[in-house]
Amino acid sequence: MTDPGLVLDTACLLAYSEGTEAVGEQIASVADRGQTVIVPALCLAEAYRQVAVDGWRLLDILGDLDHVVVSPVAHDMCMFLGG
């Protein structure tokens, strides 16, 4: 795996699913630098839970991009993900 350049939390994923261009631009910028975008699995699951029906397609596409890595949740990440 290449160096991570960006981590998307639930709020970013929801903004992306609503078409916020700034999030897509950041994802593209990271990909252009050859870095990866990390999406914690729990954040993605929560985004799917909250997303409007129209946003599902964008979340599906995001997870299929070559430079996006959906990361499993490790014990040491729970404190940060829990806020």
How many Cβ atoms are within 10 Å of 42's Cβ, its own excluded? 17
Structural domain boundaries of the chain?
Answer: 4-81
**Residue 50: per-residue pLDDT:** 95
Mean pLDDT by 10 residues, the chain (83 residues): 87 95 95 95 93 92 92 78 66
Element (H, E) at 27: helix 21-32
Instruction: Report the Cα 2 to chain-centroid distance in Å.
Output: 16
pTM summary value: 0.84
Asked if residues 43 and 8 have their Cβ atoms less than 8 Å apart, the reply is yes
Q: Tell me phi and psi for residue 14, to 5 degrees.
A: -65, -40
